[in-house]
Amino acid sequence: MPASEIVAVASATAEALARSYPGARASLKRDILSSALACFNEHGLEPTTIDMIKVRCGTSVGNIYHHFGNKDGVVAALFFSALDDQSRLREGCLATAQTAQQWVAALVYSYVDWVTAQPELARFQFQARSAVSKGPQAEALAQRNRQRNRQTLDWLAQPERRADFRDWPAELLPSLVIGQSENYCRAWLSGRVRTSPTEYREQLAEAAWHSVSASQ
């Protein structure tokens, strides 16, 4: 990755963490999470230790435990920061959707655009999802997901909008819409494909619409 892209990604990550932990008093928390993110993505979730994060951050183990409790707490805090940042973009895009096809496009665009803008957080999010869903913060994650999906399910609950979709369970539709985009984004993040997901956002949105539209 060119130096300019590395700087841009680091800046985007810092901005995302600042949205979750704003202000000067939270600067150490942001530094710890930024260092943890680099360790997790370089070494993997399991091999990374608190000591590795401490060295990278230049702080003490005591400070890490004070702010996040333990390694599980660091993982969860970083995962929730990524999830909340992704949700902010998605909610903004969905708020402008007037038709069913626009709603599908908004889901796809917001997902693809966020992954492209936040590749380090997205890479971590993919590897940490299972650990958080099975760890001490499992219920907190479930609650966040319920809140996160409420806007989507409320939109689909309106009969005049629901008629535009296949007569399939509403809870299934978001997965069908995002599935193809998620698959491509995973391939891009792992280096299996080179073209940025944003280059294909229109095609991905069209494919998603064909998957769920009642008229197809």
From CA 45, how far away is CA 63, in angstroms rounded? Answer: 20
Record the tokens describing residue 87, joined without a space: 């949700």
From CA 77, how far away is CA 36, in angstroms rounded? Answer: 10
* DSSP H helical ranges for the chain: 3-20, 27-43, 50-57, 61-68, 71-94, 100-117, 119-134, 138-156, 159-162, 173-189, 201-212
157: three-class secondary structure by DSSP: coil
Phi, psi of 213 (to 5 degrees): -70, 135
pLDDT for 126 equals 95
pLDDT for 207 equals 97
From first to last of its 216 residues, the chain has per-residue pLDDT tens of 666 677 788 899 999 999 999 999 999 999 999 999 999 999 999 999 999 999 999 999 999 999 999 999 999 999 999 999 999 999 899 888 889 999 999 999 999 999 999 999 999 999 999 999 999 999 999 998 888 888 777 877 788 788 899 988 888 888 899 999 999 999 999 999 999 999 999 999 999 999 999 986
Phi, psi of 131 (to 5 degrees): -60, -40
From CA 117, how far away is CA 196, in angstroms rounded? Answer: 10
Name the pTM for this structure. 0.92
- The class that CATH gives domain 3-212 is mainly alpha
pLDDT for 2 equals 63
- Domain-by-domain residue ranges, the chain? 3-212
